[in-house]
Amino acid sequence: MPRALMIQGTASHVGKSVLTAAFARWLSDGGWRVAPFKAQNMSLNSFVTLQGEEIARSQAVQAEALGLEPTADMNPILLKPLDSGCQVIARGHPVGLMSIHDYYAWKGHAWRAITESYDRLARAFEVIVLEGAGSPAEINLREHDLANMRMAHHADAVVVIVADIERGGVFAQLVGTWELLSPEERRRVVGFLINKFRGDPSLLSAGLAYLRQRTGRPVLGVLPYDPSLALDEEDSLGLTATTPTGEIDVAVICLPGISNFTDVAPLARVPGVGVRLVSEAGHLRRPDLIILPGTRTTQRARAWLRACRLDDAIRAAAGQPDGPYVLGLCGGYQLLGHAIDDPDGVEAPGQSEGLGLLDVDTRFHRHKTLYRVEAEVLARGSLGDGCPVVGYEVHQGITQRRPGVAPWLRLRRRPGGDSSDDGAIRPDGRVLGTYVHGLFDDARFCRAVVHELRRRKGLPPLTDDAWERHRRAWAERYERLVCWLTQHCVLGPIVEACRLERGRC
């Protein structure tokens, strides 16, 4: 078996995903062949591998930090929550919709997929850095937990437990977690990390000493909050309701069941672009671009838009001669059309009417479309005019354009290589929709869109120097992550517990 290090947490959103990427990159920089792994992930933020497999976005980011092409073995079970139950993705492909009790009955199959995937990675890499899920000490869930200590036992992993001080009660989190672990589980724990600290670490001295005395384990580091280290969020807990300002104003509609919301993150990093989440009609105002992102519950999202009057607000904005661009991505694209029909109950049986801003109709199917794609913007004079783009498809709806409606993109799918037209564009070029995720991750497309939004507002284009500084800062984020880790964490106990030769880390 390879060496294995596991990052567990006292709760969700304490920083496990970021720290898994940080430790993995630190080990890789030390000369080890490293892979990330998360046995079971619950997330609506997914990614499609080159093999056409759907995995959580967080494992794709961790793979990117290591220069690896992600595979389904890095996240063998993905649970995508719905209004009732979850869609279960096993080894990258959907196996059905399950209630929690259905899933518990199926967990033997899930565990087999998990262990087979881990064992394949273990044969190919020298070190595996595993990410836990939620907390290992949830007494009501422990019998069914596949992602924490049961996985640590299978991998014979050394465990680090992380707590988030921003949430308050950090020592209660850590001591409470420790007290609920069994003696065998405690023996795996090499130490603790306190994450997202703001202020003077000396203020924690008494608590750190107490924790060491109570548990016999050290706090290996107090990691300062640093927003520049943020990686793609795993779930909607990472979304904030802040209202940033910029020369360009982008309003993202905060739909129920929002998925793949990292589609808009690259825009938020561009100088002069403010991206804000909108959940009330009165907060829409007069943006330069409205984005309806993906959602796993399209019909529920339609009802929510109607209830909060955002449907009328979006239609009114789109109807103004000098109004904003409106872009629908995946579920947002479906919402921009007319009919949304779900005869088989893929999401919820029945039919609803969309916003009617694009002359398209959607019908849900049980088959799931999973492809990496290369695309080109067909429509001239629209956002991204003629620009190439790389992205991915992950959807279960088929959307048909009505006669005379122009597509927006031409796709070439990988693997397979077949070409097809995708999306739709209103004749005036201001309302657009597509099934392609990751558009703004492609710097060519992102730059073309920002250039058009600035031109339309009478602003000069961003300089090449501004784009280069932006590109360089983003490219160096994993190096910054390792510097942050090594500066604020005592790594010797981990090196010793994992039997890592000091010359290689």
Check if the beta carbon of residue 295 is closer than 8 Å to that of residue 324. Answer: no
Q: How many residues does the chain have?
A: 505
Q: Retrieve residue 63's tokens.
A: 């793979």
In terms of phi and psi (left: phi > 0; alpha: psi -120 to 50; beta: otherwise), the region of 54 is beta
> What residues are annotated to the active site?
330, 437
3-class DSSP assignment, residue 271? coil
Q: Retrieve residue 482's tokens.
A: 């390792």
Half-sphere exposure (Cβ direction) of 230: Cα atoms closer than 13 Å? 15
* Phi, psi torsion values for 63, nearest 5 degrees: -65, -45
Cis peptide before 415 (omega within 30 of 0): yes
**Residue-by-residue DSSP string for 83-141:** SSSEEEEETTEEEEEE-HHHHHHHHHHHHHHHHHHHHHHHHH-SEEEEE--S-TT-TTT
In terms of phi and psi (left: phi > 0; alpha: psi -120 to 50; beta: otherwise), the region of 154 is alpha
Residues in contact with 33: Cβ distance below 8 Å, sequence separation at least 6, in sequence order = 124, 125, 126, 127
Residues in contact with 475: Cβ distance below 8 Å, sequence separation at least 6, in sequence order = none
- In a 10 Å sphere around its CB, with 0-12 CB exposed, 13-18 middle and 19+ buried, how is residue 499 labelled? exposed
Q: Retrieve residue 189's tokens.
A: 């724990």
| 360-377 vs 339-342, strand pairing mode | parallel
As a whole number of angstroms, the distance between CA 329 and CA 308 comes to 21
Closest CA to 255 of 282, 291, 204, 226: 291
- In a 10 Å sphere around its CB, with 0-12 CB exposed, 13-18 middle and 19+ buried, how is residue 216 labelled? exposed
